[in-house]
Structure 1
Amino acid sequence: MTSGQPSIDAPAPISRPTLSDGSLFIGGARQDALSGRRREVIDPSTGKQIGTVADGDAQDIDVAVRAARTAFDDGPWRRTPPRERARVLMRAAELLRQRTDELIALESVDAGKPVSLCRIIDVANTISHFEYYGGLAQGLGGATRQTAFPSMAYTVPEPIGVIGAITPFNFPMILSTSKIAPALAAGNTMVHKPAEDTPLTALVIAEVLSEAGLPDGVLNVVTGGVEAGDAVVRHPGVDKIAFTGSTLVGRKIASTAGDSLKPVTLELGGKSAQIIFEDADLDIAIGKAIEAFVFNTGQFCMGGTRLLVARPLFDAVSKAVAGAAGGVPLGDPFDPATVIGPIAGARHLEKIERYVELARSEPGAEILTGGHRIDLDGGYYYAPTVVVGMANDSRLVQEEVFGPVLTIQPFDTEDEAVALANSTRYGLAAGLHTRDLNRAHRVASRLQAGIVWVNTWGLMDPAVPFGGVKQSGYGREYGPEGLAEYLDTKSVVIAM
């Protein structure tokens, strides 16, 4: 996931932040949870508490939804001309840019992200979302349609209403603003429930939008756990759900929302394959294979965690990937040289360990590198791990680990490579490496995935949509398609 380029001048060092107000943001103002409860915020690089935030529950969600409902039904936002809405989003982008170092520090201490990557990926993409959807908002409009009878017919794009957004821990800013920016550009109001592990930047984004001119109640943020998320889905005042997270939770949300025919956008799990054909540029392919599974410490739903290699190259590629992966700089996220930071939380680290233990017990499996925790400052670190010899139906090959763990499998033919790539229940992303342009188009058309990368991995831009097929969900984020997810189309027909 890339966006922009680092500055030619070396940026100033980022210091660990001092946390202040961690209260909810409802109706344009900060307030405590009605229960008075607080939730610990843990720095994953040390395992220590760095502060607290309000622990919202169903009562707080109800207050937030009522604020959003009032703002939608009676407030000015939905009636604000698209160009004016665009100005607010563009202003928010500029204010976020001015607070870049603060956002980097909060995202890093909250999610364990290396500050160098936060700058060029997380913050850059967050700003780009508001700029991109601010641009799209300026062009919002309907179309006239020809009919077979004497009439004038036209369409009108309209906001859906109150959007309930529930976002995960791995890209707190990016996956929040990929929903917030298009939903607001379309004229909706929102209740956002960020991940319980990583709530900090969501509150800052809400404050920035308010400063940029967003009316009170249009964006409300409730930090909390499972109860708060469930209340968002079930609340009758919410008109649509936008969720990014696990397939298991996504199924439950779709089922619950289906009872009231509430539309849902789901961006769920992945187990993405990248294929190295015999004619690939191996320097590029091996570098991207490593990047694809260690990026964001493997906590990337579109991570390339299954590597399929043409059999004549299998031994050499496996050895090269394992050898290089162990040398990727791992350590303190606030060290500018760090590429791999800690896992975002203790329970996520334990899940990775359970999957690797399954590999140890499987006949024929071999761990070429990694396979263990790294003891560093009490943090949640796990070594990049490369496993070969796994059966295709093994759990490590078929299930999402969400950590820096790569399986490598050989193939003999193009058909076999495609079959292996498509053999899981997921369909979020895929990739291939080849010098043959015809093969690139042919294989890309056969891969069951919402986005396919050729001779690269993880390149993303707000203009290019992505989303899942199969058990990876439905609906699209990014691009005009992402804006369309937050609009209804009304048709008007006038007899002549």
Structure 2
Amino acid sequence: MTETPAPPVVGPGRLFIAGSWTDARDGRTQATVNPADGSRTTDVAAASVQDLDAAVEAARRAFDEGPWPRMSVHDRAKVLIRAAELIERDAQEIGYLETVDMGKPISFSVGHDVPIAAQMYRYFGGLATSELGGATRPTATPTFSYTLREPVGVVGAITPFNFPLLLSCSKLAPALAAGNTVVHKPAETTPLSALKIAALLAEAGLPEGVLNVVTGPGTELGRALVAHPKVDKVTFTGSTAIGQSIVRSAADTLKKVTLELGGKSANIVFADAYLDQAVEDAFWAGFFNSGQVCVAGSRLLVQRPVYDEVAGRIAERAAGVVPGDPLDPGTYFGPLGHEGQFRKVAEYVEVGLADGAELAAGGSAYHSEQQPKGLYYRPTVFTGADNTMRIAQEEIFGPVLTVIPFDTEEEAVALANGTPYGLASGVHTRDVKRAHRMARALKAGTCWVNTYTQFDSSMPMGGYKSSGYGRELGPETMESYTQTKSVWIDQRD
């Protein structure tokens, strides 16, 4: 009988600055907490603004004087592709860190997130050799004219708690492929995979100072990073309110900014849909990662002839979920990522009830003899709601699904577009013409048809309206990590 391997030993986390591991200057640390049981996983360095400044200075030197921006794209690609191989080598350890840090089920951490993370480094390593060239341009003047694509400079990357690994890789891989240097500020509550990736990139051959990772208090360090005069670009994933504050601060130094912000995405089921598949997709659209997904289909719009059936089936499916230990390979619904998020979800459930929505499933915390502690909240389904309620307008970022009826295609579009957000959308229908009409009509950066939450490194992600601007992934993201220079050479005799 094969024994289950012992879990990795998680050592103390230190800052990664100028290619070296170091403590915070004032010696401060903070605990990382496993949301499944409230236990302390380890301690990580709690950086000060002075530590952040040292990281920015290291990145600045590496960009202005170091080899990385001056390497051939082929040599940079070798490092990134080697990093992909190392991520695959250490998949079990990375998945474990992700699970104990934010509560994601280990089957998703290892089976979903780690392979996509490796794909990102491999994809952008290859893209560096094909998407970073310039072009010659015919002009009306006697010149030889061409463009150059050059890296932006020092990139400040700020990532949230819900997908620590993937959202950091979606920023680091293209930024590095383009020849930039980076200061990464991971979420205060989920820093462990970011530190592991820094170690793997160093092992892959990334020169010192090209990537720096600073852990610690999010608000203090985030503000300092955005305001720093030696940072050329900020890329941020998180709430709309914080994104707006970043734009205001970045205006002082005219930084480039990419923002992937909040969402309240509509997943639309027409009466002619394949209902078995639609219900399955709607369940995962609302409850994957315990609903802590920026593109979550948290508004389920269902055409009235099938509303009762779909709402009933999704509520029954949600009611049958038994949350479990995320380190158990059989668990597919784990805890919320941190205490603040747990409280927020509980408060919104009370708001929904007070506004007159009907609770069809869930609506309470979950504990059992096997799981007496932890930030578990049952998957929750509201029916009898309308699009004006707060639970339909505001991002909850948890396992709360609001089911809303509609009659016509035009009404579905109006409801779907009737929030400040525009990050993602879904459409379930057998009518191909309707699918294309809806994809064009929905004001969202992504539209999934007869599926949901599909991702690939080659496909861009980003939002309309208050869901941000700029794009992550795909060749489109390279525009935000490069600058274009025009060169004119006189050809007159």
TM-score (norm 1): 0.96
1:428 to 391, 405, 423: 423
Among 322, 326, 339, the alignment partner of 2:332 is 339
> In structure 2, which of residues 1, 16, 20 is the aligned counterpart of residue 25 of structure 1?
16
In the alignment, the residues of structure 2 paired with residue 463 and residue 482 of structure 1 have an alpha-carbon distance, to the nearest angstrom, of 10
Bigger shift: residues 478-487 or 211-220: 478-487
What is the one-letter code of the residue matched to 2:221? Answer: A
Q: 1:152 is paired with a residue of what secondary structure?
A: strand
Deviation at 1:328, TM superposition (A): 3.3
- Hey, what does 1:269 align to over in structure 2? 262
- Counterpart position of 1:95: 86
Q: CA deviation at 1:360?
A: 1.5
2:132 is equivalent to residue 137 of structure 1: no
Tell me whether 1:109 sits opposite 2:104 in the alignment: no
CA distance in structure 2 between the aligned counterparts of 1:18 and 1:119, rounded to whole angstroms:
17
Partner residue in 2 for 1:208: 200
What do the CA deviations read for 1:51-82 (whole angstroms, capped 9, x no partner)? 11000121111000000000000000000000
- 2:360 maps to 1:368: yes
Change beyond 3 A, Cα 1:179–1:12: farther
CA deviation vs aligned residue, 1:158-213 (integer Å, no higher than 9, x gap):
00000000000000010001000000000000100000010001011011111111
**Aligned partners of 1:188 and 1:166: how far apart in 2?**
15
1:67 aligned onto 2:58 = yes
Q: In the alignment, does 2:171 pair up with 1:179?
A: yes
User: Aligned pair 1:82/2:73, yes or no?
Assistant: yes
Letter matched to residue 475 of structure 1 = G
SS of aligned partner of 1:381: coil
Aligned to 1:8: none
Of residues 151, 159, 167, the one that matches 1:159 is: 151
The correspondence of residues 462-477 of structure 1 with structure 2, limited to 5 A, is: 462-477=457-472
User: Paired residue for 1:190?
Assistant: 182
Q: How far apart, CA to CA, are the structure 1 residues paired with 2:122 and 2:418?
A: 38
Q: Percent identity?
A: 54
Q: 1:16 to 1:398 in 2, by over 3 A?
A: farther
Partner amino acid for 1:242?
T
Cα pair 2:12 2:42 within 8 Å, conserved: no
SS of 1:485's partner is helix
Out of 111-120 and 294-303, give the one that drifted further: 111-120
Instruction: Name the counterpart of 2:48.
Output: 57
Distance 2:391 2:472 in 1: 28
Aligned to 2:398: 403
* 1:370/1:383 contact within 8 Å kept: yes
CA deviation vs aligned residue, 1:443-468 (integer Å, no higher than 9, x gap): 11000000000000000100000101
1:321-332 mapped onto 2 (5 Å cutoff): 321-332=314-325
> AA paired with 2:316?
G
Query: 1:369-397: per-residue Cα shift (whole Å, max 9, x none)?
Result: 00000022310000000001123211111
Query: In 2, are the aligned partners of 1:314 and 1:410 still within 8 Å (CA)?
Result: yes
Q: Cα distance 1:110–1:14, how it changes in 2: closer, same or farther (>3 A)?
A: farther
> Structure 1 CA distance, aligned partners of 2:250 and 2:5?
42
Output the CA distance in 1 between the equivalents of 2:59 and 2:12: 22
Q: How does 1:251-400 map to 2 (within 5 A)?
A: 251-363=244-356, 365-375=357-367, 376-400=371-395
Deviation, 1:95, is 1.0
- Please tell me the residue identity of whatever aligns with 1:437: V
Q: Deviation at 1:131? A: 0.2
Measure the CA separation in 2 of the matches of 1:13 and 1:188: 42
**Aligned counterparts of 1:60 and 1:411: Cα–Cα separation in 2:** 53
Deviation at 1:14, TM superposition (A): 6.7
Structure 1 residues 17 and 318, CA gap change in structure 2 (3 angstroms) = same
3-state SS in 1 of match to 2:43: strand
Q: Does 1:45 align with 2:27?
A: no
Give the secondary structure class of the aligned counterpart of 1:453. strand
| Residues 411-447 of structure 1: CA deviation (Å, up to 9, x unaligned) | 0100000000000000000010000000000011000
The residue aligned with 1:484 is: 479
Q: State the shift of 1:410 in Å.
A: 0.4
Distance 1:377 1:82 in 2: 52
Q: Secondary structure at the match of 1:373?
A: coil
Q: In structure 2, list runs of 5 or more residues that go unmatched.
A: none
What letter matches 1:474 in structure 2? Y
Equivalent positions of 1:9-24 (< 5 A) are 15-24=6-15
Q: Over aligned residues, Cα RMSD in angstroms?
A: 1.1
Shift of 1:330: 2.0
Distance 1:441 1:360, change over 3 A: same
1:485 positional shift: 1.3
Say how many residue pairs are matched: 485
Q: Secondary structure at the match of 1:280?
A: coil
**8 Å CA contact 2:59, 2:209 repeated in 1:** yes
Please give the secondary structure, in 1, of the residue aligned with 2:93.
helix
More moved, 374-383 vs 440-449: 374-383
Tell me, yes or no, if the aligned pair for 1:374 and 1:381 is still in contact at 8 Å.
Answer: yes
- The answer for the alignment partner of 1:229 in structure 2 is 222
Contact 1:247/1:269 (8 A) holds in 2: yes
1:416 equivalent to 2:408? Answer no
Do the aligned residues in 2 keep the contact of 1:57 with 1:228 (CA within 8 Å)? yes
From the superposition, tell whether residues 248 and 14 of structure 1 become closer, same or farther in structure 2 (CA, over 3 Å).
farther
For the residues of structure 2 that align with 1:466 and 1:102, how far apart are their CA atoms? Answer: 28
Write the distance in 1 (CA, Å) between the matches of 2:334 and 2:220.
Answer: 30
**Cα distance in 2 for residues equivalent to 1:197 and 1:321:** 32
TM-score, length basis structure 2: 0.97
Paired amino acid for 2:415: L
Counterpart of 1:26 in structure 2: which amino acid?
I
Q: Is the 8 A contact 1:45 1:377 kept in 2?
A: no
How much does 1:16 deviate? 3.9
User: Offset of 1:326 from its aligned partner?
Assistant: 2.1
SS in 1 for 2:41: strand
